[in-house]
Amino acid sequence: MALKSSENDKRVGWFCAYTPVELIEAAGLRPVRLFGDGADSDEANALLHPATCPYLRACLAAAQRESGPHMLVFANSCDGMRRLHDAWKHFLKPDFCFLLDLPRRVDWAGVGLYHRDLLRLREDLESLTGRAITPGALRRAVSDWEATRRELRDSADGLEGVERVRRAVALQEEGLAWKPGDARGAAPQSGRQGRTSGVPVVVTGNIVRADGLLSLMEEAGCRLVAADICSGDRFFQDLGLNEAELEGLGVDGMLRRLAERYLARIPCPRMVDSRRRHEHLLETVRRTGARGVIYVSIKFCDAFIYDFPRLRAALDAASIPVLMLESDYSDQHEGQLLTRIEAFLEIIGDSMAAGRGQV
């Protein structure tokens, strides 16, 4: 069951958008986000309870079947992710398995704890590679990732929905090897095409597959004007760091900046301050002229399950209709989901005028 080690494989698998890819890059390794195969996760059930996030089980099942990556960084973002780390480490015995602590607060305590763990990650990466991470290497990695995120944003300018998310996913899978013309990132991977007409809708949620549920939404007649999901638009956010700002700082100082900036991003519902995320979503709806919101929560994701009633209240107060969909990450039951999305689109055709909220 154990993964086979390969010295030439420099890939470091990661899972959560709060993972500091820059630090992994500065160690001379290649951060790649793992997505697993949503349709094939049963194999993991013996190692991770079936009532655990299907995304996590899909990643674990893929690792049980495949060889590599042999190095992994898990952010301690939720109970499920922490247990994924535990199961992976215990049952698959990879070469490198790091649990990066991720606080919920973003104040002095949160920054302090996150910074401390970035230092710990640095030490472990240095031990792994046998090479020190220099200030120059880290500065370059930060700068390269910032530039690539900007490039991604520019290349995706004007793109919406599935096409836009595919670009973001490609960057997460390819890392700095990604190029704007990358066919993997730009070309549709299934027969479905993105659309730029239809009822404007913002989709929000955690991990939503571009070629699964998002394609289905477009097929139903949604024009996905924003994809506020952690594998989509949330990954477009840069950290607002430039080389000049990092000039003169040692690795410790730069990691402090990274800690501050990562925690200052629009928060995921796991963070204490979810209100900021709700405000961001409302602003996105207003800016894009969306007629409604589709909230996609992957099954068994506590952060999103607990977030929804609050977000729904905020959307209701702003008379923005919302449809809640639960995804098992395999996006089976397409027919049922399609019917619900189509019904939602029919209703929001006139719901804004009627001032109705949740559908």
100 neighbors 117 (Cβ within 8 angstroms): yes
Please, which residue, 26 or 106, has the CB nearer to other proteins? Answer: 106
Paired tokens of 161: 């929905």
13: left (phi over 0), alpha (psi -120 to 50) or beta: beta
Minimal distance, residue 243 CB to other proteins, in Å: 28
Structure tokens at 81: 């992710």
Residue 112 engages other proteins in binding (rule: CB under 8 A): yes
Burial 323-334 (b: 16+ CB within 10 A, else e): bbbbbbbebeee
Looking at 95, 101, 144, 328, which residue binds other proteins (CB under 8 A)?
Answer: 101
- Closest CB to other proteins among residues 105, 280: 105
82 touches other proteins (CB under 8 A): yes
Can you tell me which of 10, 28, 43, 76 binds other proteins, judged by CB under 8 A? 76
By CB under 8 A, residue 83 contacts other proteins: yes
186, two tokens: 């730009």
Closest by Cα among 114, 52, 118 to 86: 52
Number of residues forming the site for other proteins (CB under 8 A) = 48
Contact status: 272 vs other proteins (CB under 8 A): yes
> Two tokens at 67?
């060889």
Nearest to 178 by CA among 163, 193, 168, 187: 168
Among 10, 39, 43, 105, binds other proteins (CB under 8 A): 105
Residues 122, 117: Cα–Cα separation, whole Å:
8
Amino acid sitting at position 352: M
Piece in contact with other proteins (CB under 8 A), picked from 5-13, 27-35, 112-120, 172-180: 112-120
CA-to-CA distance for 245 and 95, rounded, in angstroms?
A: 35
Least Å distance between CB 337 and other proteins?
A: 16
In angstroms, give the least distance from the CB of 259 to other proteins.
Answer: 12
Residue 282 is a binding residue for other proteins (CB under 8 A): no
Among the listed residues 140, 312, 340, 356, the single contact to other proteins using CB under 8 A? 312
- Binding status of residue 253 toward other proteins by CB under 8 A: no
Residue 99 binds other proteins, judged by CB under 8 A: yes
Measured CA angle at 216 (ends 345, 304), to 5 deg:
80
16: nearest Cα among 301, 312, 330, 306: 301
46 touching other proteins, by CB under 8 A: yes
Binding residues for other proteins, per CB under 8 A? 46-49, 51-52, 76, 78-80, 82-87, 89-91, 99, 101, 103-105, 108-110, 112-113, 116-117, 120, 270, 272, 274, 299-300, 302-303, 305-310, 312, 324, 326
